[in-house]
Amino acid sequence: MKFVQENGALLAYHGGETLRIEGWGADSLRVRATCFPEFTKYDWALTEEPEKTQPVIEIGQEDFWVGDGSIAKQPTASITNGRLKATVNFAGVLTFYRDGKQILREYYRSYGGTLSQGSRCLKIVNREWKGIIGGSDYTLNVKFDPNEGEKLFGMGQYQQSPMNLKGCVLELAQRNSQISVPFLVSSLGYGLLWNNPAVGRVTFGCNYTEWIARSTKQMDYWITAQDDPKAILKAYTAVTGRAPRFPEDRMGLWQCKLRYRTQDEVLEVARAYQKEGIKIDQIVIDFFHWTVQGDWKFDTTYWPDPKAMVDELHAMGIKVIVSVWPSVDRKSENFGPMMEQGMLIRTERGAAQTYDYQGDCVEIDPFNPATREYVWEVCKKNYYDYGIDAFWLDNSEPDYGVYDFENYRYYDLPALQCSNMYPQMYSRVFYDKMKDLGDGTVVNLLRCAWAGSQKYGNVVWSGDVPSTFQAFYEQVQAGLNMGLAGIPWWTTDIGGFMTDDVADPNFRQLLIRWYQFAVYSAVLRMHGDRGPYNIPPLDTRDWGGGYLHTGQPNELWSYGEDNYAIMKKYYDIRISMHDYIKALYDEASENGSPLIRTMFYEFPADEKCWELQDQYMFGAKYLVAPIFALNCYERSVYLPAGSWKLTSDGTVYEGGQTVTVKAPIEYMPVFERV
């Protein structure tokens, strides 16, 4: 092992691998390794200029067991950046310390070791590079020792019950309702970003942690040591970016359904809300308002005058958002030129097709600058110039017909090496241009994200999830982990996306419980595919804005007078919290704090708060306890230290105890910190 100092970085050379460790912001280090002669040009999520620091590098020697039982000296080195220290031994094994206490160490079980590690004969190395047969790149496997009792959170959104990820296996890949944002928060006081958009897997096992990239050119991760989760998020978003200031005129109700089929339907709904005295901030025009996928324009048969529609909605104070998909049908007027100019995803073998819902489609390649320019110009002409305020960038994973990532290739890299970054690049087709136009904060809606997506004006929703109480429970933990992964603008389809029968009283109860939760979340958005599908299509063509089905009505008054009264009451609560919600959005842009927060985010010293996932904090003031079961009309709630006022009747409880409170269908338990 050879160690070198270079411009404030520690470099180590061993067995054909180059390891580079350097300060990257206060109390933080960036760690890279490669088996190529040079590191790549990609900084991936680390887009912000880090705070300048003066790391201390020391190169020395350590004791080493020789095969005959004697002790020899071997080189060792360390780099200390504030509270975080990393040591590298003669075999290249990394150990990290926070304020002198070990927090993380690479897993190494091979012959020979320091006096503290002893010898093992398993021949398992800490960083395993395996050349891909027939190619120049590698699969990479990086292992870390487990920490007993450690809890891990963040990593984006996975459709599962556990919020604590210790013991979980997570696919590092994007799918509909699965969002890989590879940043974790540890209960031991550190955060770690796997700064690599390659498709792979992470296993947070009890025997070791294992990160796998299926195809990559280098290892790249960033680690920070801080006092508590809030400080960890602040440090993380300082180097990956923070959400911009959220516009006040979109903090209320967003109205949506699958799907408003005509210009008249949209205006009728908007006028009805105005008549009811309910202000909606934004109305959403969903998919298949277009001619064919990839034309990115209204079907004028059903949308004869989009500008007049937008003007009337604007006069009511309503913003307009329209759905754009990345799929381009072979029948689209844009397919030929985009395919010819290399603007679509390429397949490595077989037919040129990546998506097959309602058409033979290939999806755009947003890694290509020419693609981003082309798609924006079409959408600007056909949407933005009419006054459309925002874009719903659906299927943004992208939603492949088959998730064979090894069969797809983008502009300058195979999908296996960068596909997790696709949704972020897709969002930038619109964000970069809209930001340059300077019309205010850009707010677009996406179904997926990656590390750093928060800086590109992305409201992320949790995808096409079922309308069940189990799914509702899973969305809450998913949203809390998304927040810990640095994505504060997060929302769900109220009531879930897939509903068989809107008249089912069980579904309507679920809808109310979900709606109550959504009032205490970042974005209050009505959406869903509401059955039964007994509404006939508008025409018999197999293309255009009239042939596809639509769901049942999904406005607040669509579910009976009793439920409408509850939703109207909670709408009023949402509006009354406007100034408070604005302050939460401002905080997200200042230090990266999410709007919905795990209990331990606000109470890190309370060990019980690290165990809770069925209640959360909406900012620092409100403790929210959703109802996750049918016909459940009371629930137990843990109150941390302090005084807490139950908002239903004003009763004040002292913290440090679990209380049981009533939860009739008209009320979800919420406690105000006093």
Return the exposure string of 491-504: e unless at least 16 CB atoms fall within 10 Å of the residue's CB, then b.
bbbbbbbbbeebee
Per-residue pLDDT averaged across 572-600, rounded?
98
Q: Give the rounded percent of residues in the chain with a pLDDT score beyond 90.
A: 95
Distance in angstroms (rounded) separating the CA atoms of residues 393 and 489: 15
Both 527 and 628 in a single domain?
Answer: no
Both 148 and 62 in a single domain?
Answer: yes
Reading across the β-sheet that carries 616-618, which strands appear in turn? 596-597, 616-618, 622-624, 670-673, 643-646, 652-654
- In this structure, what DSSP letter does residue 229 have? H
Whether the predicted pLDDT of 138 surpasses 70: yes
Q: Who contacts 512 (Cβ-Cβ below 8 Å, separation ≥6)? A: 563, 566, 567, 665
Dihedral Cα 551, 557, 561, 562, nearest 10 deg: 90
Choose one of 240, 273, 307: the last residue of a domain. Answer: 240
Question: Residue 520 maps to which CATH number?
Answer: 3.20.20.80
- Dump strand ranges (E) for 527-583: 529-530
pLDDT of 586 reads 98
Q: Who contacts 37 (Cβ-Cβ below 8 Å, separation ≥6)? A: none
Low-confidence winner among 111-115, 324-328, 375-379, 628-632 (lowest mean pLDDT): 111-115
Distance in angstroms (rounded) separating the CA atoms of residues 68 and 601: 52
Q: Is residue 482 part of a domain?
A: no
Angle 145-150-151 (CA atoms, 0-180°, nearest 5)? 125
Q: Is residue 454 part of a domain?
A: no
pLDDT of 602 reads 98
Distance in angstroms (rounded) separating the CA atoms of residues 258 and 289: 11
Question: Residue 236 maps to which CATH number?
Answer: 2.60.40.1760
- Mean pLDDT for all residues in the chain: 96
522 — pLDDT class (breaks 50, 70, 90)? very high
pLDDT of 538 reads 96
Q: Which has the closest alpha carbon to 266: 325, 313, 323?
A: 313
**Cross-strand bridge partners of residue 210:** 143, 203
312-335 pLDDT tens trace: 999 999 999 999 999 999 999 999
Choose one of 177, 211, 240: the last residue of a domain. Answer: 240
Distance in angstroms (rounded) separating the CA atoms of residues 39 and 414: 18
Cis preceding-peptide flag for 259 (omega within 30 of 0): yes
Distance in angstroms (rounded) separating the CA atoms of residues 210 and 308: 56
pLDDT of 516 reads 99
Whether the predicted pLDDT of 117 surpasses 90: no
Q: Give the rounded percent of residues in the chain with a pLDDT score beyond 70.
A: 98
Distance in angstroms (rounded) separating the CA atoms of residues 241 and 454: 7
Choose one of 240, 256, 281: the last residue of a domain. Answer: 240
Q: How many domains does the chain have?
A: 4
Question: Residue 639 maps to which CATH number?
Answer: 2.60.40.1180
Per-residue pLDDT averaged across 151-157, rounded?
98
Per-residue pLDDT averaged across 402-418, rounded?
97
Q: Is residue 418 part of a domain?
A: yes
Categorise residue 433: left if φ over 0, alpha if ψ from -120 to 50, beta otherwise.
alpha
Query: Is 464 noted as a catalytic residue in this protein?
Result: yes
Both 234 and 331 in a single domain?
Answer: no
Helices 306-315 and 263-276, interaxial angle, to 10°? 10
Query: Is 397 noted as a catalytic residue in this protein?
Result: yes
Whether the predicted pLDDT of 343 surpasses 70: yes
Tell me the residue type at 377. Answer: E
Per-residue pLDDT averaged across 512-526, rounded?
98
Q: Is residue 467 part of a domain?
A: no
For residue 155, CA distances in Å to 220, 480, 535, 594, 642 come to: 16, 10, 41, 14, 31
* Of 394, 493, 529, 602, catalytic: 394
Question: Is residue 627 within 8 Å of 518, Cβ to Cβ?
Answer: no
Q: Is residue 447 part of a domain?
A: no
Both 510 and 643 in a single domain?
Answer: no
Residue that has been written with the tokens 């960038």 in this structure: 393
Per-residue pLDDT averaged across 487-497, rounded?
98
Distance in angstroms (rounded) separating the CA atoms of residues 198 and 40: 14
63 — pLDDT class (breaks 50, 70, 90)? confident
**Domain span at residue 313?**
247-324+493-577
* Of 464, 555, 614, 672, catalytic: 464
Distance in angstroms (rounded) separating the CA atoms of residues 538 and 546: 5
Question: Is residue 588 within 8 Å of 595, Cβ to Cβ?
Answer: yes
H or E element, residue 427: helix 422-437
Both 116 and 190 in a single domain?
Answer: yes
268-314 pLDDT tens trace: 999 999 999 999 999 999 999 999 999 999 999 999 999 999 999 99
Read off the tokens for 528. 């869903």
pLDDT of 114 reads 55
Distance in angstroms (rounded) separating the CA atoms of residues 37 and 252: 53
Per-residue pLDDT averaged across 595-600, rounded?
98
pLDDT of 111 reads 64
Whether the predicted pLDDT of 240 surpasses 70: yes
pLDDT of 70 reads 77
Both 179 and 312 in a single domain?
Answer: no
Both 506 and 633 in a single domain?
Answer: no
Per-residue pLDDT averaged across 84-93, rounded?
95
Q: Is residue 481 part of a domain?
A: no
Whether the predicted pLDDT of 119 surpasses 60: no
475-486 pLDDT tens trace: 999 999 999 999
Read off the tokens for 459. 């409201």
Both 274 and 358 in a single domain?
Answer: no
Both 280 and 235 in a single domain?
Answer: no
Helices then strands, counting H and E runs in the chain, come out as 12, 40
Both 227 and 260 in a single domain?
Answer: no
Tally Cβ neighbours within 10 Å of residue 4. Answer: 14
Both 536 and 631 in a single domain?
Answer: no
Q: Is residue 585 part of a domain?
A: no
Q: Is residue 412 part of a domain?
A: yes
68 — pLDDT class (breaks 50, 70, 90)? low
Q: Who contacts 69 (Cβ-Cβ below 8 Å, separation ≥6)? A: none
Both 360 and 372 in a single domain?
Answer: yes
CA-atom Rg of the chain in angstroms: 26
7-46 pLDDT tens trace: 999 999 999 999 999 999 999 999 999 999 999 999 999 9
Distance in angstroms (rounded) separating the CA atoms of residues 478 and 163: 7
